[in-house]
Chain A
Amino acid sequence: MSTVAAGDHHDHPESPYSIKRWLFTTNHKDIGTLYLWFSFIMFLIGGVMALVIRTELFQPGLQFVDPQFFNSMTTMHAIMMIFGVVMPAFTGLANWLIPMMIGAPDMALPRMNNWSFWILPFAFAMMLSTLFMDGGGPAGGWTLYPPLTLQTGDALPFVILSMHFMGLSSIMGAINVVATVLNMRAPGMTLMKMPLFVWTWLITAYLLIAVMPVLAGGITMLLTDKYFGTSFFNAAGGGDPVMFQHIFWFFGHPEVYILILPSFGVVSSIIPTFARKPLFGYASMVYATGAIAFLSFIVWAHHMFTVGMPLAGELFFMFATMLIAVPTGVKVFNWIATMWRGSMTFETPMLFALGFIVMFSIGGFSGLMLALAPVDFQYHDTYFVVAHFHYVLVPGSIFAIIAAVYYWLPKWCGNMYSEGLGKTHFWLSTIFVNLTFFPMHFVGLAGMPRRIPDYALQFSDYNMMATIGAFGFGLSQLLFLVLVIKAIRSGNKATSQVWEDAEGLEWTLPSPAPYHSFSTPPAIK
Chain B
Amino acid sequence: MAQAENSYYVPHGSHWPIFGSVAVCTLLVGMANYLNGTSWGGNMALVGFGLLVIMLFGWFGTVVKESRAGLYNTQVDVSFRWGMFWFIFSEVMFFAAFFGALFYARNYSLPWLSGEGSGAMTNMFLYEGFEASWPSAANGPGNVGGEYKPMGAWGLPAINTALLLSSGVTLTWAHHALKAGHRAQLIIGLFLTVALGAIFMACQVLEYKEAYEHYGLTLGSGIYGTTFFMLTGFHGFHVTIGAIILAVILFRCMSGHFSSDNHFGFEAAAWYWHFVDVVWLGLFVFVYLV
Q: Say whether A and B bind each other.
A: yes
State A42–B11 Cα separation when bound (angstroms).
Answer: 29
Whether B36 and A154, one on each chain, are in contact in the complex, defined by CB atoms closer than 8 angstroms, is yes
Among listed B101-109, B191-199, B252-260, B266-274, interface-contacting one: B101-109
A17 at the interface (CB under 8 A from B): no
Residue of A whose beta carbon sits closest to that of B93: A213
Q: Contact string, A92-121, partner B, CB cutoff 8 A, digits 1/0?
A: 000000000000111011111011001101
| Known contacts A184-B79, A239-B105, A240-B108, A216 near B94 by CB under 8 Å | yes
Whether A237 and B222, one on each chain, are in contact in the complex, defined by CB atoms closer than 8 angstroms, is yes
**B91 contacts across to A, CB distance below 8 A:** 213
Which of under 10, 10 to 19, 20 to 34, or 35 or more describes the interface residues of A?
35 or more
Whether B28 and A106, one on each chain, are in contact in the complex, defined by CB atoms closer than 8 angstroms, is no
Among listed B140-148, B157-165, B180-188, B208-216, interface-contacting one: B140-148
Q: Which 5 A-B pairs have the closest CB atoms?
A: A217-B97, A236-B142, A6-B7, A24-B13, A238-B140
Report the minimum CB–CB distance from A114 to chain B (whole Å): 4
Whether A178 and B86, one on each chain, are in contact in the complex, defined by CB atoms closer than 8 angstroms, is yes
B43 at the interface (CB under 8 A from A): no
B18 at the interface (CB under 8 A from A): yes
**A228 contacts across to B, CB distance below 8 A:** 219-220
Whether B10 and A106, one on each chain, are in contact in the complex, defined by CB atoms closer than 8 angstroms, is yes
State A183–B83 Cα separation when bound (angstroms).
Answer: 10
Among listed B19-27, B169-177, B240-248, B276-284, interface-contacting one: B19-27
Q: Contact string, A24-47, partner B, CB cutoff 8 A, digits 1/0?
A: 111100000000000000000000
- Given A213-B90, A213-B96, A230-B225, output 15 extra A-B contacts at Cβ < 8 Å: A4-B10, A23-B18, A24-B12, A24-B17, A106-B10, A111-B59, A115-B21, A176-B83, A209-B86, A210-B90, A227-B35, A230-B226, A238-B109, A243-B105, A310-B118
Q: Contact string, B220-235, partner A, CB cutoff 8 A, digits 1/0?
A: 1011111001100000
A5 at the interface (CB under 8 A from B): yes
Report the minimum CB–CB distance from B11 to chain A (whole Å): 5
Whether B82 and A26, one on each chain, are in contact in the complex, defined by CB atoms closer than 8 angstroms, is no
Among listed A156-164, A320-328, A364-372, A384-392, interface-contacting one: A156-164
**B35 contacts across to A, CB distance below 8 A:** 157, 223, 227
Residue of B whose beta carbon sits closest to that of A108: B79
Residue of A whose beta carbon sits closest to that of B25: A122
B151 at the interface (CB under 8 A from A): no
B287 at the interface (CB under 8 A from A): no
Residue among A4, A125, A211 with the most chain B CB within 10 A?
A4
A16 at the interface (CB under 8 A from B): no
Whether A5 and B10, one on each chain, are in contact in the complex, defined by CB atoms closer than 8 angstroms, is yes
State A158–B38 Cα separation when bound (angstroms).
Answer: 14
A-B contact pairs, 7 of them (CB 8 A): A111-B14, A126-B25, A213-B93, A224-B230, A232-B226, A250-B97, A516-B10
**A5 contacts across to B, CB distance below 8 A:** 7-10
Whether B93 and A231, one on each chain, are in contact in the complex, defined by CB atoms closer than 8 angstroms, is no
State A246–B226 Cα separation when bound (angstroms).
Answer: 18
State A179–B222 Cα separation when bound (angstroms).
Answer: 42
| Known contacts A179-B86, A211-B93, A237-B140, A231 near B223 by CB under 8 Å | yes
A428 at the interface (CB under 8 A from B): no
Whether B20 and A115, one on each chain, are in contact in the complex, defined by CB atoms closer than 8 angstroms, is yes
Whether B97 and A239, one on each chain, are in contact in the complex, defined by CB atoms closer than 8 angstroms, is no
State A250–B222 Cα separation when bound (angstroms).
Answer: 24
B3 at the interface (CB under 8 A from A): yes
Residue among A8, A20, A228 with the most chain B CB within 10 A?
A228
Residue of A whose beta carbon sits closest to that of B110: A238
B128 at the interface (CB under 8 A from A): no
Residue of B whose beta carbon sits closest to that of A178: B86
**B136 contacts across to A, CB distance below 8 A:** none
Q: Contact string, B102-138, partner A, CB cutoff 8 A, digits 1/0?
A: 0011001110110001100000000000001000001
**A164 contacts across to B, CB distance below 8 A:** 28
| Known contacts A4-B4, A217-B97, A26 near B12 by CB under 8 Å | yes
State A157–B37 Cα separation when bound (angstroms).
Answer: 11
**B21 contacts across to A, CB distance below 8 A:** 115, 118-119, 121-122
A235 at the interface (CB under 8 A from B): yes
Whether A240 and B105, one on each chain, are in contact in the complex, defined by CB atoms closer than 8 angstroms, is yes
A175 at the interface (CB under 8 A from B): yes
**A182 contacts across to B, CB distance below 8 A:** 82
B71 at the interface (CB under 8 A from A): yes
| Known contacts A4-B4, A5-B8, A238-B144, A183 near B79 by CB under 8 Å | yes
**B10 contacts across to A, CB distance below 8 A:** 3-5, 26-27, 105-106, 110, 516
State A180–B78 Cα separation when bound (angstroms).
Answer: 10
**A25 contacts across to B, CB distance below 8 A:** 13
**A236 contacts across to B, CB distance below 8 A:** 140-142, 144
**B139 contacts across to A, CB distance below 8 A:** 231, 237-238
Within B1-56, the residues touching A (CB, 8 Å) are 1, 3-4, 6-18, 20-22, 24-25, 28-29, 31-32, 35-36
Whether B7 and A8, one on each chain, are in contact in the complex, defined by CB atoms closer than 8 angstroms, is yes
**A310 contacts across to B, CB distance below 8 A:** 117-118
Whether B140 and A26, one on each chain, are in contact in the complex, defined by CB atoms closer than 8 angstroms, is no
Residue of A whose beta carbon sits closest to that of B91: A213
**A178 contacts across to B, CB distance below 8 A:** 82, 86
Whether B17 and A114, one on each chain, are in contact in the complex, defined by CB atoms closer than 8 angstroms, is yes
A453 at the interface (CB under 8 A from B): no
**B71 contacts across to A, CB distance below 8 A:** 2, 4
Residue of B whose beta carbon sits closest to that of A246: B104
Whether A4 and B97, one on each chain, are in contact in the complex, defined by CB atoms closer than 8 angstroms, is no
State A118–B20 Cα separation when bound (angstroms).
Answer: 9
